[in-house]
């Protein structure tokens, strides 16, 4: 965790020296999450995210945006799934998400964004499984793609995230648990 934060800070500092523009800001919005596994209901469940961002322009068209977001996720458990403890209906988790996005701006008002995202579990439903232990792994890796509307100090964004890693924290013959998330929100440059 300390290494990731240090690397991000160094990248921002180095890029700032050479960059045409640096914007720092805060952002918040909604998450709508589901999972590829039959252990969860396929409808998207609501949550939220909030955090900070640093946007650096390398040119008028290309830039990088790094974010640090705290995200709440909620997954509805499929009834009678044998791996979960009796009576469990929701699996909730709080993540620290760090997306590193390439911004391509064909026009100044619009950015097309894509890149990787690292997620680290901060908190999750305890004792969710029939056997002892947490249901979710501590780390998640996913890819993001979306668009962002860039106004003077305000940005409005929407994006889709697809998990590349299996997030279940136990060995099983079940299909991998991969997250899918739709995210929408606003950012304010400071």
Please tell me the total count of domains within the chain: 1
Tokens for 170, please give them.
Answer: 């136990």
| 10-residue averages of pLDDT along the chain (190 residues) | 65 53 94 80 87 94 96 80 69 92 95 97 78 78 96 95 86 80 95
| Residue 133: domain span | 2-189
Residue 59 to residue 62: CA distance in whole angstroms:
5
The closest alpha carbon to 122, from 182, 179, 73, 177, belongs to 73
Query: For position 19, what pLDDT does the model report?
Result: 47
CATH assignment of the domain containing 112: 2.40.160.20
pTM of the model: 0.81
Q: For residue 134, what pLDDT is reported?
A: 76
What pLDDT sits at residue 45?
87
Model pLDDT, residue 82: 63
């Amino acid at each position: 965790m300390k290494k990731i934060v240090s690397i991000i800070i160094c990248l921002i500092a180095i890029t700032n020296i050479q960059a045409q523009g640096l914007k720092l800001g805060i952002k918040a919005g909604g998450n709508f999450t589901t999972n590829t596994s039959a252990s969860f209901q396929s409808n998207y469940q609501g949550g939220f995210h909030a955090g900070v961002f640093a946007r650096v322009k390398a040119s008028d068209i290309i830039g990088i945006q790094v974010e640090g977001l705290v995200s709440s996720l909620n997954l509805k458990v499929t009834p009678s799934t044998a791996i979960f403890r009796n009576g469990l209906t929701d699996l909730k988790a709080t993540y620290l998400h760090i997306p590193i996005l390439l911004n391509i701006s064909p026009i100044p008002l619009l950015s097309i964004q894509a890149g990787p995202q690292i997620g680290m579990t901060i908190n999750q439903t305890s004792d969710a499984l029939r056997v002892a232990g947490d249901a979710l792994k501590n780390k998640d890796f996913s890819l993001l793609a979306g668009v962002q509307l860039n106004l003077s100090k305000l940005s409005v964004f929407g994006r889709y995230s697809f998990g590349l890693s299996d997030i279940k924290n136990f060995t099983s013959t079940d299909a991998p648990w991969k997250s899918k998330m739709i995210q929408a929100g606003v950012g304010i440059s400071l």
